A and B are shown apart, each in its own frame.
Chain A
Amino acid sequence: MSSVAVSNKKGFGATLWDYLTTVDHKKLGVMYLFAGTLFFAIAGFEALLMRIQLMIPNNDFVSAGTFNELLTMHGTTMLFLAATPLLFGFMNAIVPLQIGARDVAFPFLNSLGFWLFFLGAIFLHLSFFLGGAPDAGWTNYASLALYSPGHGIDFYVLGLQISGAGTLISGINFIVTIITMRAPGMTFMRMPLFTWTTLISSTLILFAFPPLTVGLFFMLVDRMFGANFFDHTMGGNTIIWEHLFWIFGHPEVYILVLPAFGLFSEIIPVFARKRLFGYSSMVFATILIGFLGFMVWAHHMFTTGLGATANAIFAVATMAIAVPTGMKVFNWIMTIWGGSVKVTVPMLYALGFIPSFVAGGVTGVMQAAAPLDYQLHDSYFIVAHFHYVIVGGIVTAIFGSMHFYWPIMFNRALNEKLGVLTFWIFFIGFHLTFFLQHFLGLMGMPRRVFTFQADQGWDLFNFISSIGAIMMAIGVVLLVINIIITAKSKPLNCRDYWGDGRSLEWAIKTPVPFYNFKQTPLIRGFDPYWLEKHDGNKEGMIYAEPLGDIHMPNNSILPLVMSIGTFIAAFGALYHPDGVAWSIPVIIIGLGITVASMILRSVKDDLGYHVHVEEVIATEEHLYGKGGNK
């Protein structure tokens, strides 16, 4: 590794191998981003099919059974396989840069987390071709799921078990990274908000995914071996699934929305060109939301008959969440207030986010009132509410951050004009789709129905809603076109693309070299890069160490092999109830592959390698020309 020459062009095979084996957080971030976009597109297409079916009354565009599969896969994919990886993409790409780390704490596990997620997602989607997708809703309530014919539910259980393990691994990785790998001077209360929200939402993953794993495992043995955890005729209880699912499921909403909050807390100060208002209260509110998120799960179950006392307690706890969330909203508004606002595409998404998310929050508080929830439960009002939170909160954050962080991630900038057009088409489409669904719900239209009778006053609103969905689809297509156009554009090769970057990630010149900062930076306060800029530091940051050899982890194919092992074993488990002879051998082979690669990993010491000083200098000159990163 001591050759000073820096290779430039690689063949297709070598590039592919590089991505299959990489442990670099920036490449994994890109992989998460593209995998997430793929599943986002698939789930969005499913939504479009559903809206076409519901466009006119008594439609027969898809059958009732297909509609159930579409709605289940739309929900499951969007939450587990689109929103989560897209946010993980940004966490991977940005958080190590924001805290001045070389990489995440466990690069190998980072790669393993991605491959487990990806192969679990592929497994779940193979259900479409292998006898029918899951059809019991993304919540997969046991009373429905246990009696679903075919293998759909088994695909759901096994696929989520695998990808859930990946998510858990990545979550733990981020907790350790943020706690132990911050650059000198980066105290907890100097961490950027996106790093804070990543830490808290990783903590929520750590606490929330085990209940899901337990629930999925119960479901698996109920269906595979005829256990009776959820079968009331055999002494089980179907409500236990609901509790386990929502003990996971409610924090899951915060797992997704907190990083979105963090992303907006990065975008807004940059374009308001003001320090984030109320930083410490933002941190406090994030932690509080994290805690309260675990105390409220039963508000999804008010109508199951928990009793008045339990309903009242959970109703009050739920309403309490509005307080820290409100603090955040006011802090964002106060950051914008009096700022010299530049309305770029990311800022446009941020400005669209605030009212949309507040609308979703207000309907949430309405549902927290248990008596009213008896009216709203399982109606389109609920659909409208959570889409306002998820599209208005999380999707706008993802789209806005794509524009915001594209220069760092790809050294290219997404087209601004096309971005503005995309925003307006998507944003108007979003409100057209979901705003009227509030009223459809209040008029009594139940959710998860595949068609409806004419002349109940629902026809026009459903039609408009479907038009909105088509507009959202056009918006997403425009974004993809924007990405493709941008890939052809010229590289930026600059530092601080937006000109008003504040946190550490903007201090580094793009393209970011594989070892990030050549010397670990010294953090002198909150918004460290802003401080250095104001002190006239031309070099970006001051450094905490002299230029020296850099220790980096080796690439490895083992994470992919391990994940393929579990993928194979899942097929054995899936077909086991059919009584096929090959199921047990396949499980053994699959798990054997996984265990063998684990043993290989443990036995063979992998100490990484050093990038020597000459090589660092050569890389810098290759990337930035003579003089390197100055």
Chain B
Amino acid sequence: MGHDTHVQAKSKKQFEYDRHHNAMHMRKQVINFAIMIFLTFVAFAVVVADFSPYFIKPVILLLAGIQVVLQLYSFMHMDDKKASHMGVIATFVWSGVLIIFPVFLTFVTIIWW
């Protein structure tokens, strides 16, 4: 690969476009990061506030689900539609989720202790 490297000078337009693009991307990352911190805070808060377990458990599971989606789409770049084979990757990830869900459900419901 090393012998095939090209050096390409960027035009001013291209530079400004990239700069704007990167800034937008960074802003999105920071916003998502803030949301995730906030959701984590909410999760702690409902526990500290001592609500009923029947409220806490579903809320935390729901927040966990949202966190997973944010993590996948924001920080692991699944929102990058132009990346190659993103459709296949998304199919595999969500198939895995679909498959593991009944396993999870079974282990918490019908295995007795």
Q: Tell me if A310 counts as interface (CB < 8 A to partner B).
A: yes
The reply on B48 being an interface residue by CB < 8 A is no
Q: Is residue A207 within 8 Å, beta carbon to beta carbon, of the partner chain?
A: yes
Chain A, interface SS category: helix
**A-B pairs with beta carbons under 8 A, tally:** 36
* Contact among B88, B92, B110 for A310, CB-based, below 8 A: B110
Known contacts A247-B103, A298-B106: A179-B111 contact under CB 8 Å? no
Chain A: interface size category: 10 to 19
Bound-state CA distance A206–B95 (Å) is 11
The residues of A that contact B106 with a CB separation of less than 8 Å are: 243, 298, 310
B102 contacts partner chain A, Cβ-Cβ < 8 Å: yes
Q: How far is the CB of A581 from chain B (nearest CB, A)?
A: 39
Q: Are A207's CB and B96's CB within 8 A?
A: yes
Quick check: B85 and A180 within 8 Å, CB to CB?
Answer: yes
Interface assignment of A14: CB less than 8 Å from any CB of chain B: no
Given known pairs A179-B88, A180-B85, the reply for A307 and B99 (CB within 8 Å) is no
B99, B102, B107, B111: the one within 8 Å of A207 (CB): B99
**B80 CB, nearest partner CB in chain A, Å:** 17
Residue B98 CB within 8 A of the other chain: yes
Instruction: Say whether B102 contacts A295, CB under 8 Å.
Output: yes
A557 within 8 A of B: no
Interface residues of B in 55-113 (CB under 8 A from A): 85, 88, 92, 95-96, 98-99, 102-103, 106-107, 109-113
Count B-side interface residues using an 8 Å CB cutoff.
16
Residue with the greatest number of chain B CB neighbours at <10 A, chosen from A211, A294, A295? A294
Give, as a whole number of angstroms, the nearest-CB distance from A484 to chain B.
Answer: 43
Whether A307 contacts B95 by the Cβ 8 Å rule is no
B102 pairs with A294, CB closer than 8 A = yes
Contact A291 B111 (CB under 8 A): no
Chain B residues whose CB sits within 8 angstroms of the CB of A207 once the complex forms: 95-96, 99
C-alpha spacing A295/B103, complex, angstroms? 8
- Select from chain A the residue with minimum beta-carbon distance to B103: A247
Q: How distant is the Cα of A499 from the Cα of B102 in the complex, in angstroms?
A: 48
Assuming the contacts A237-B111, A239-B111, A243-B106, asked whether A291 and B88 have C-beta atoms less than 8 A apart, the reply is no
In the assembled complex, the CB of B109 is this many whole angstroms from the nearest CB of chain A, namely 8
Q: Are the C-beta atoms of A237 and B88 separated by less than 8 Å?
A: no
The reply to whether B111 and A243 contact each other, CB–CB distance below 8 Å, is yes
B99 x A240 contact (CB < 8 A): no
The answer to whether B95 touches A291 (Cβ under 8 A) is yes
Which residues of B have CB within 8 Å of A234? Answer: none
C-alpha gap A180/B88 in the complex (Å): 10
Distance in angstroms between the alpha carbons of A179 and B85 in the assembled complex:
8
**A306 on interface, CB distance cutoff 8 Å:** yes
Does residue A203 face the partner (Cβ distance < 8 Å to B)?
yes
Give A295 to B102 CA distance when docked, in angstroms: 7
Q: 5 closest pairs, A vs B, by CB?
A: A294-B99, A310-B110, A306-B110, A207-B99, A179-B88
Chain A: residues with CB nearer than 8 A to chain B?
179-180, 203, 206-207, 211, 235, 237, 239-240, 243, 247, 291, 294-295, 298, 306-307, 310
